[in-house]
Amino acid sequence: MASVLTHHIEDFLTWLEVEKRYSAETIRGYRIDLIQFCLYLEANDSECLDVLDQINRGVIRGFLGHLAGELDQQPRSVARKLAALKSLFKYLHREGFVTLNIAAYVHTPKLPGVIPSYLSENQIVAVLEKLGESDSWMGKRDLAIVELFYSTGIRVSELAGLKSSDLNVKRGTVTVLGKGSKQRVVPVGQYAWEAIGIYQYATKHKFGHQDSYQPLFLGKNGSALGPNGIRLRVRKAIKAIAELKKMSPHVLRHTFATHLLNAGADLMALKDLLGHANLSTTQIYTHVQVDKMKKAFQKAHPRAGKK
């Protein structure tokens, strides 16, 4: 399916990697979404693959309709693919490959409000206690992973990229490399430090001395444990305790944020801890504050209509 458009897509993805310093996982997602657009064009309007100015709003809307209708994809997935197209066409317009950034004139589908999946305080304690029952090296590693996720709220890509040198035991912090290669320093709680220390001690006995610039979390063969491996271990740990629709490391990130807000944390401070660029992203967690207000109202107001 080589074409002018697929050639520009590869150049665009290289630009994201080199200039914007996007993660490999983000670039992989962009590639999947943009190639899906190319396949749609190949089947429905193949001339657009080589004459880019023939791609108009109707073509892009047709693609979005195909996703939502024939493929029955959810609005959030459709919106993500449109965002990839908007980024691509912004790049193509800036580089002079198209005369108009046509994707900018296509409206993003309205998304339903979604409350993030998270574990209750009792559930996360149960997950950690269950992991703590294992005396194996792998069990110690998995406990350290989940403790660190819950203690810091970092992303799976950030945890997978950690090295021992990123840990500052004296200051009680970890330095992570977030989206756009932006570094941030996040505090780490006592229980997470203890779990990491036990895991590192066990790792030294299993694999010998580890250089401080080697990956912090290892697979059973001693190589770096990647994002997919981490997802698998977290899913297994959560599934042993709770049945949720989603059981990814992002559930632990949501759990971290929800529990902090429950305890009265400031939304702006939470934004910085999570590494969000905009406060609007952090505001998905305000459902916690709304729920607390509702409970207080139902409990205290004489005409709340308590049942």
Torsion of CA 161, 84, 252, 243, to 10 degrees: -130
- Annotated catalytic residues are 155, 179, 250, 253, 276, 285
**CA pair distance 217, 145, nearest whole angstrom:** 8
For residue 168, the cross-strand partners are 173
CA–CA gap between residue 9 and residue 3 (Å, rounded): 10
